[in-house]
Chain A
Amino acid sequence: MSFRADLRHDGGVALIKLDGALDALSAPVFRDRIKRAAEHPVRLLVLDMANVNYLSSAGLRTLVYARQKMRDGSRITIVGANDVIQRTIQLMGFQYGMEFGDGIP
């Protein structure tokens, strides 16, 4: 299964659009995009997860990685995550420092 993570910068906003299953195999790709996003001054990181159909433990960890990579004071918003994924993130307590949004701001 293929996985894509596309990064776009728009002023102080970075958008990463994810596509496919976010698991141990694809996590390194996503981590690389987060790293590159954090190379610019970013006040808001938007993760578009509308096309993510599976999130594993390793995938979840990339969200923590994102939070740790982003500088203090910047926000992370997850948009489009389906109910199962959103709930999983919350059940595990990985939601701190992140917001859930309906659409891309």
Chain B
Amino acid sequence: MTGSPHVLRDRIDSYPTHQISGYGVRPGRHLPFGATLVPGGVNFSVYSSAATAVSLVLFRNGEPAPLAEIRIPEEFRIGGVWAITVFGLDYESVEYGFRVWGPESAHVADHFDPSRVLADPHARAISGRDEWGVPPDWQKPFQYRSKLAFDDFDWEGDRPLRIPMEDLVVYELHVRGFTRDDSSGVEMPGTYAGLVQKIPYLKSLGVNCVELMPIFEFDEFENSRLDPDTGELLLNYWGYSTVGFFAPKAGYAATGRFGMQCDEFKNLVKELHTAGIQVVLDVVFNHTAEGNEDGPTIHFRGLDNRTYYILTPEGYYYNFSGTGNTLNCNHPVVRDYVLSCLRYWASEYHIDGFRFDLAAILDRGEDGAPLADPPLLQALSYDPVLRDCLLIAEAWDAGGLYQLGSFPDYGRWSEWNGKYRDTVRRYLKGDVGTVSDLATRLVGSPDLYAHRETVASVNFITCHDGFTLADLVTYDDKHNEANGEGNRDGNDDNASWNCGVEGPTDDPDVQRLRVRQMKNAMLLLLTSQGIPMLLAGDEVGRTQGGNNNAYCHDSPLSWFDWSLVDRDVELLDFVRNCIEFRGAHQVIRARAHPTGKDELGIGYPDISWHGVRAWTPDWSHDSHLLGLLRVGVTEAGVADFVYQVFNSHWEGHDVELPELPPGVRWHLFADTLAPPPGDACAPGREAILMNQQAIRVGPRSAVVLVGRGTG
């Protein structure tokens, strides 16, 4: 068929109706909010419940004085939404903001201030911190400037991966810290583009989901300070303080100074997806970078303070986040804002899921009290755009609300399982009274998630917040002196054990024990039901010198040291094998909690518990040894037997093995006491055990066996 399709070449709204401040304008479209390219111009839309006047302030890139200020005519307003289309803008060289006037008799909690220019809460890109670590000019009247962003990236057919949750192995990383160290060898260290170059490493490790610490625009100079003792510049390195909820951090882009961070980040997502790796974003909706009464006015405070924040009757900020303010998430306007933000990231950036920082705040009502049926969580749970996204809650907040296992999940949310972390840590260091709780953690924490599947539990032993795995076995106590607060900050209760010497040591026995403890931890984590999450660098023993709160360090202290990848091959190979082993045994990944019944009708329950004697678990207070036999089927439909024995006792034990069906023999996958390559073999190449009746499990060691037919 020939002939050109009908194209609307000349929309009748692509011409100005008014001239203001030298620009042709016309009444704008009120939706969508933010700045949008339209034929011939740019449409701006912003809302405020009480503003009496709004003007659009335009700047040329980086210039202190405005290029133009366009008062939005009152007749362009519908409801509380002010919208204007401006023609003839060079949209690549323009930054914008809003000046907002409030009523004469403003409420005590209003903070309208027409002497300031506000950022657009819907800004798709923000300039002002375009290059990481370049000290800002604080004299500049308008720090964080809104920019337009293109939405026409060439995805080449990419879309979110939708890997089954039970198959995920999550890897938590900091975009900058992952490649910033010179040892990374990437072309553009510390950037989205740099991370692209490390995708082959992630693939070879075997993880299939990265959880990126905050990448929404934040200001690394927020509360920046010099360490009084060392003079070192301390920054907000982690970035849990959002400036722009719709904008990827420009300073993480090699091309941020050209304003191309959106495309560079999209390219990262596309490349990760091509490699079969999902992208989960760590998002912070519990508070904003505006802080408390003394904080900066960025956007919400000057637009609609009473709408966006939870306030006391006197107009002060509630501080459930521990960082100055609390976002009023269950106000209908704020709820819509959060929802539209996540929809934007899921659709525009193909993001596969979100981890919500201090998520318990999200179910607090406007008076701060927890709601039984919080509208925000409900809306997120049932949203069509987010339907396939992972939703992961950090189910507590800094205001004392602790909801592990009781977070309103709508059958949809997973949780960072803090209890998994605590139990496994205490078990590993040899605490008594931990074995029965450990058993519960190994099978997906049915005590917390009985009404859910195992994938409700994101299992982790370490994360960005706290000790790294290497430090967990090297330090009894935190060593946060470098944070400049006299070692008072950070968690005091780490359930860590230094294996006999505080800090680094030349003692080979201590060194061997530490490596073994790290292997025990990794083996436990990767053979537990639930979604395992690793902290980047733990697979090669990355240390922070005992610092368990490295939020302010943009330095080798917090960066991934890539020389470890060559030096610590032993641990890295071990972890790789464990991840592969997990992939080879769906009985470990099973979504259903085991029942203890003979589900397959082959004479074995799907889970059974054992001790030094088979079928005789030792649940006593002083017990340190636990054996569990998982029985399921392989993907090929063959019966699969996986036997795990963990021994946190300082002495070794001869452990009797459960008897297998005829023709099936025990083969050894891992023994953390054995030196490599005997510590863990390539899955599928497990060697048959000479003694099928019993195995020696060394002091503070673990073994994993598989039952396989010999024919």
Contact = CB atoms under 8 A, between A and B. Distances in A.
A93 B263 CA distance: 8
A94 B154 CA distance: 8
Nearest to B194: A91
B260 A92 contact: yes
B92 A92 contact: no
A24 B91 CA distance: 8
A2 B91 CA distance: 18
Contact of B188 (A25, A56, A91): A91
Contacts of B260: 57, 60, 88, 92
Contact of A60 (B187, B191, B263): B263
A61 B264 CA distance: 13
B270 A93 contact: yes
A58 interface: yes
A56 B148 CA distance: 13
Nearest to A67: B154
A93 B269 CA distance: 11
B321 interface: no
Contacts of B191: 91
B481 to A, nearest CB: 38
A101 to B, nearest CB: 20
A64 B153 CA distance: 9
Interface residues of B, number: 22
Interface in A54-100: 56-58, 60-61, 64, 68, 87-88, 91-94, 96
B90 A57 contact: no
Contacts of A19: none
Nearest to B154: A64
Given A57-B258, A88-B260, A91-B188, A96 B156 contact: yes
B150 A57 contact: yes
Contacts of A56: 92, 258-259
A60 B264 CA distance: 12
Given A56-B92, A57-B92, A92 B271 contact: no
Contacts of B255: 88, 91-92
Contact of B264 (A25, A64, A91): A91
B327 interface: no
Contacts of A23: 92
Contacts of A92: 255, 260, 263-264, 267
B92 A61 contact: no
Contacts of B254: 91
Contacts of B187: 87
A92 B188 CA distance: 12
B661 to A, nearest CB: 53
Interface core residue of A24, A25, A56, A61 (most chain B CB under 10 Å): A24
A26 to B, nearest CB: 11
Contacts of A64: 154
A24 B42 CA distance: 13
B152 interface: yes
Interface core residue of A87, A91, A94 (most chain B CB under 10 Å): A91
Contact of A88 (B90, B196, B258): B258
Interface core residue of B154, B187, B191, B271 (most chain A CB under 10 Å): B154
Contacts of A61: 150, 152
B209 interface: no
Contacts of A87: 187
B579 to A, nearest CB: 27
A58 B156 contact: no
A60 B267 CA distance: 13
Contacts of A68: 154
Contact of B271 (A57, A58, A93, A94): A93
Contacts of A58: 92, 150
Interface core residue of A25, A58, A87, A93 (most chain B CB under 10 Å): A93
A71 B25 CA distance: 40
A87 B187 CA distance: 10
Contacts of B188: 91
Interface in B135-163: 150, 152, 154, 156
B62 to A, nearest CB: 15
12 contacts: A24-B90, A57-B92, A57-B263, A60-B260, A68-B154, A88-B258, A91-B188, A91-B191, A91-B193, A91-B254, A91-B264, A93-B263
User: Sorted from nearest, which 5 A-B pairs have the closest CB atoms?
Assistant: A93-B267, A91-B193, A24-B92, A64-B154, A92-B263
